[in-house]
């Protein structure tokens, strides 16, 4: 039996839903029930009626699905698919920082790209799709500590005017794009708007016509009168855009060394591993209940705030 047919059969047998992030490979996106950004997939995970969630993304995304679905089985194709951004903020370091700066009484806004341990220490979670709205909802008299992405945090401050203390973390993929590499491709395609993810550095964001989450990139490119776009984010996004907007051209933003940028963690997932995790119901995401409950509150706060 073909691998794709086997996955469809197992999905039915397990009453499973397959959620895939926009950075997954083309074959995985084609098989998924829902493809989206972190915010969209967090909603899908919170709303699903399935018994099993197979999350094709990275570890913190599967963990988020489990936090809002403690009664369901959450499997991921590869337990080692982590995230450099999440790794840059270990919970013990955050706890120590908060204790050391207790006088600041920080309101902690955590980008969803973090572990359950960091979520449990936070007041509210945000994604790149709702970060501006979430930060605007923080009581004006509170000092904000934004973790773990200094680039997304700096962009949110530019948008809102709200000063924040920024944790010094970043995404190893998005910081590879440089002013030089984007200026070079822009010179080749002068009519193509540059669309960049807010995890890029300020030097790159300043060159962009639009800075937004991966999901918002789809809407921007659909509604723009332009026929070609330079997409400055992980390469999987190109497949999503080409599939959904087949009449337009999408050019990957290059780095100084490569024609496009791949996230090695996102690309650890394969169809074989997806089949295996559905067949074996392993590897599973398991979280101690007290930690899960503490991590759930700030996610629920985010889901409520971004709905209104």
Nearby residues of 187 by Cβ (< 8 Å), 6 or more positions away: none
> Per CB under 6 A, which region of 123-131, 251-259, 286-294, 299-307 contacts ligand 13P?
123-131
Question: Across the chain, which distance is largest between two alpha carbons, in Å?
Answer: 62
Q: Which helix (H) or strand (E) element contains residue 19?
A: strand 16-21
**What is the footprint of ligand 13P within residues 179-198 (CB under 6 A)?**
197
Tell which positions 17-36 bind ligand 13P, by CB under 6 A.
22
- The answer to whether 234 contacts ligand SF4 (rule: CB under 6 A) is yes
DSSP 196-246: E-TTS-HHHHTT-SEE--HHHHHHHHHHSS-SEEEEES-THHHHHHHHH-T
Q: Pick from ligand 13P, ligand SF4, none: which does 38 bind, CB < 5 to 8 A by kind?
A: ligand 13P
Indicate the residue among 128 and 306 with the shorter CB distance to ligand SF4: 128
Which range in 4-12, 101-109, 121-129, 136-144 contacts ligand 13P by CB under 6 A? 121-129
Q: Which of 132, 135, 133, 234 is nearest to 177 (CA)?
A: 234
Name which position in 24, 25, 29, 38 contacts ligand 13P (CB under 6 A): 38
Q: Which is nearer to ligand 13P, 44 or 197 (CB)?
A: 197
Dihedral (CA of 221, 225, 231, 232) sign: negative
266 is a site residue for ligand SF4 (CB under 6 A): yes
Say how far apart CA 219 and CA 216 lie, in whole Å.
Answer: 5
Residue 83 binds to ligand SF4 (criterion: CB under 6 A): yes
Kindly state the smallest distance separating residue 114's Cβ from ligand SF4, in Å. Answer: 10
């Amino acid at each position: 039996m073909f691998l794709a047919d086997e996955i469809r059969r197992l999905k039915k047998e397990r009453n499973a839903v397959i959620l895939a992030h926009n950075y997954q490979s083309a074959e995985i996106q084609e098989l998924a029930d829902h493809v989206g950004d972190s915010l969209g997939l967090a909603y899908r995970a919170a709303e699903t009626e399935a018994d099993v969630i197979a999350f094709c993304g990275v570890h913190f995304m599967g963990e988020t699905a489990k936090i809002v679905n403690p009664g369901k089985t959450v499997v991921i194709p590869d337990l080692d698919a982590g995230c450099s951004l999440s790794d840059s903020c270990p919970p013990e370091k955050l706890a120590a920082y908060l204790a050391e700066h207790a006088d600041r009484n920080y309101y902690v806004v955590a980008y969803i790209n973090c572990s359950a341990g960091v979520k449990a220490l936070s007041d509210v979670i945000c994604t790149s799709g709702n970060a501006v709205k979430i930060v605007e909802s923080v009581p004006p008299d509170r000092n904000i500590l934004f973790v773990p992405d200094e680039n997304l945090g700096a962009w949110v401050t530019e948008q809102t005017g709200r000063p924040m203390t920024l944790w010094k973390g970043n995404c190893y993929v998005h910081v590879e794009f440089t002013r030089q590499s984007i200026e070079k491709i822009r010179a080749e395609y002068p009519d193509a708007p540059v669309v960049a993810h807010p995890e890029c550095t300020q030097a790159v964001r300043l060159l962009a016509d639009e800075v937004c989450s991966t999901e918002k990139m789809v809407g921007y490119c659909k509604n723009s009168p332009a026929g070609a776009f330079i997409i400055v984010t992980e390469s999987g996004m190109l497949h999503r855009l080409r599939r959904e907007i087949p009449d337009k051209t999408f050019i990957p933003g290059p780095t100084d060394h490569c024609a496009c940028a791949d996230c090695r963690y996102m690309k650890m997932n394969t169809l074989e591993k997806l089949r295996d995790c559905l067949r074996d119901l392993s590897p599973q995401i398991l979280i101690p209940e007290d930690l899960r409950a503490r991590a759930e509150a700030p996610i629920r706060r985010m889901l409520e705030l971004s709905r209104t």
